[in-house]
Amino acid sequence: MLITPAFAQAGAGGDANSMLMSLLPFALIFVIMYFLILRPQQKKVKDHAELVKNIRRGDTVVTSGGLVGKVTKVVDDDQIEFEISDGVRVRQMRQMISGVRAKGEPAKEKAEAKDETSAS
């Protein structure tokens, strides 16, 4: 029933190093997941919040449902009103906006194309 000194010394010597080496892969997996998944997702959420916050009257917006319209009124911090056709206005939650086009962006491209063709 006695424990020999050689047996007692062998168990205590490699325990700390082996525990550290067994936790190292989990730490590496967490670091890799942070940089490949969590960090880009946080950046995407931050960019969308900034985009939604800066919606102004006259902007052309695209909703997550696919509707495209021109903002006619910013109702409050949560809602906007936009026109999808002549006389057809829709209220939409700001968070459901998936994209914003700046004022006059499509028309500006057409106007530049006309200016280039008329200058030639």
State the number of CA atoms in the 13 A half-sphere of 63 facing the CB.
19
Mean pLDDT over the full length of the chain: 81
Distance CA 31, CA 34 (A): 5
The residue among 81 and 16 whose pLDDT is bigger is 81
Cβ atoms of 90 and 68 closer than 8 Å: no
Residue 79 has pLDDT above 70, yes or no: yes
pLDDT above 90 covers a percentage of the chain that reads: 49
Which one has a higher pLDDT value, 119 or 26?
26
Q: Copy the structure tokens of residue 28.
A: 């590496």
pLDDT(16) > 80: no
Residue 3 has a pLDDT of 67
As a whole number, mean pLDDT of residues 49-72 equals 91
pLDDT at residue 106, as a whole number = 47
Give mean pLDDT, residues 8-12: 51
Give the global pTM.
0.61
